[in-house]
Amino acid sequence: MFCVSISHRLADISIRERLAFTDIEKTNFTISVSTYTNIIILSTCNRTELYSDRGDTKYILDKLCDFKDISLAELKNYVNIYEGDKGIKHLYRVACGIDSMLLGEDEILGQVKDAYYFANGIRDVGYELHTIFRGAITCAKKIKTDTRISKTSVSVGTLVGNMLAERGVKNVLVIGIRGKIGEISAKNIASHGIKVIGTSRMHSADKAMGHSSFDTVPYSERYAYIDKVDGVVSATSSPHYTLTYSRIIKHTDKPKIYIDLAVPRDIDEDIVNIDGSELYNIDHFKELAENNNKIKLREADRAELIIEEMTDNVIKELYFHSILKDMGNIRSNMEALGYERIIYKARDNMSFKEFKKFMDIFSKEK
């Protein structure tokens, strides 16, 4: 397996939004490469990653460039490629939040699960990707249970709520409140006693979410409520702006705090031309996240040990599966050699630690 990764580590939001995938795009891209490879696409605010079980990276890079209308020369400035064991370990680190902008954040595990289930819904992703992704999900759950890296976790939603509370905001419009990030943000904002109004494309969204305390209004009426709030948070998966400067100025000229958590971006940058208004996107929270991450670095070391162990387990499982078809020959060769020659061959071809571990398996009393 290998992974083509474009993430917050090398690419700012202007690049990430160009390379983000909608569900329709995931389906179309997966089908376009289906005769050549199985693939799982993970697309979040902070990363777009393509996991492939065969072929070569050049093929995937070329297909990605064609699909997203970007030159290979430009893309190479922002891409990391992880192959073989390193690709597996990278996925494990992603799933448990070690590679996240917010160290140990919880949302990424759900996003990895969603990417896996979505891809498998298009077509069976094959034994290798099944095994690797299931292992990554299991590893992330173990780390969450056995370490404190996710305890008192700080998500982007937490940071948004803290910012708005510190700025004295009283009322907030959350566009996309039914989405995962929108819902998390709304909960954290409301926890500070800030009144939340959410937009929804569905009726009775508050009941569906289980938050009867949130007022919800139709998405189509969002501009009518702009003048009634002090802050706006937008977190949709729309490929187009949810708020444009030309329409906002028809409804209000009051300064507000606008927070855009979407990739591609939801809010027209010209909004800052309204005197006193401020606009923050997802990358603004990177510095805040780095301060939070320092607290969790010790737990991250423990998580890395778990990742090493569980990555090794899945690599062994994949290798064992690959040699099952040769078990007959292996058995015949071992029987022909006899146990003494097997022991001497092991001694001559293994390190001391490997050889000792091999002999310990058989030297202990049954």
One-character DSSP codes across 135-168: HHHHHHHHHHHHSSTTTT---HHHHHHHHHHHTT
pLDDT at 215: 85
Contacts of 16 (CB under 8 A, 6+ apart): 6, 7, 8, 45, 46, 47, 48, 263
Provide the percentage of residues in the chain whose pLDDT is more than 70: 94
Confidence of residue 41 (pLDDT cuts 50, 70, 90): very high
Residue 45 appears among annotated catalytic residues? yes
Give the tens place of pLDDT for each residue, 2-17: 999 999 999 999 999 9
DSSP H or E segment with residue 171: strand 171-175
The predicted-structure confidence for 157-167, as pLDDT tens digits, reads as follows 889 999 999 99
How far, in whole angstroms, is CA 23 from its chain's centroid? 15
Distances (CA, A) of 239 to 24, 190, 271: 12, 27, 18
Identify the top-confidence range among 66-75, 151-160, 199-208. Answer: 66-75
Domain ranges of the chain: 2-149+297-318, 156-283
pLDDT digits (tens, 9 = 90+) for 43-54: 999 999 999 998
Give the pLDDT mean for 24-46.
Answer: 96
Q: According to the model, what pLDDT value does residue 206 have?
A: 44
**Helices 126-146, 285-323: inter-axial angle, 10-degree rounding:** 130
CATH topology for 2-149+297-318? Beta Polymerase; domain 2 (3.30.460)
Q: What is the rounded distance in angstroms from the CA atom of residue 125 to the CA atom of residue 102?
A: 29
pLDDT at 109: 94
Give the span between the Cα atoms of 232 and 243, in whole angstroms: 10
CB-based burial, 36-50: b 16+ in 10 Å, e otherwise: ebbbbbbbbbbbbbb
Q: What is the pLDDT of residues 115-150, one digit of tens each?
A: 999 999 999 999 999 999 999 999 999 998 888 887
| Mean pLDDT across 221-229 | 93
Is the preceding peptide bond at 264 cis, omega within 30 degrees of 0?
Answer: yes
User: pLDDT value at position 208?
Assistant: 39
Q: At residue 253, what is the residue type?
A: D
**Total Cβ atoms within 10 A of residue 365:** 3
User: How much is the pLDDT for 212?
Assistant: 47
Average pLDDT, the chain: 90
Q: Determine the residue type at 40.
A: I
What's the pLDDT tens digit per position in 296-314? 777 888 899 999 999 999 9
State the pLDDT at residue 151: 67
pLDDT at 200: 81
Q: Distance between CA atoms of 118 and 149, rounded to whole angstroms?
A: 27
- What's the pLDDT score for residue 205? 43
Residue 155 has pLDDT above 80, yes or no: no
- The pLDDT of 267-287, averaged and rounded, is 92
What is residue 221's DSSP assignment? G
Give the CATH fold of the 156-283 domain: Rossmann fold (3.40.50)
Over 70: is that where the pLDDT of 153 sits? no
- CA 205: distance to chain centroid? 26
- Res 213: pLDDT: 63
Q: What is the DSSP string of 258-308?
A: EEE--SS--B-GGGGGSTT-EEEEGGGHHHHHHHHHHHHHHHHHHHHHHHH
Catalytically annotated residue among 45, 65, 96, 139: 45
In angstroms, the CA 50 to CA 31 distance is 14
Query: What count of other Cβ atoms lies within 10 Å of the Cβ of residue 284?
Result: 18
User: What string of H, E and C letters represents the secondary structure of 23-88?
Assistant: HHHHHHHHHHHCCCCCEEEEECCCEEEEEECCCCHHHHHHHHHHHHCCCHHHHCCCCEEEECHHHH
For 253-270, the pLDDT digits (tens) are 999 999 999 999 999 999
Angle subtended by helix axes 156-166 and 180-190, to nearest 10: 40
pLDDT at 82 over 50: yes
What average pLDDT does the segment 352-356 reach?
Answer: 90
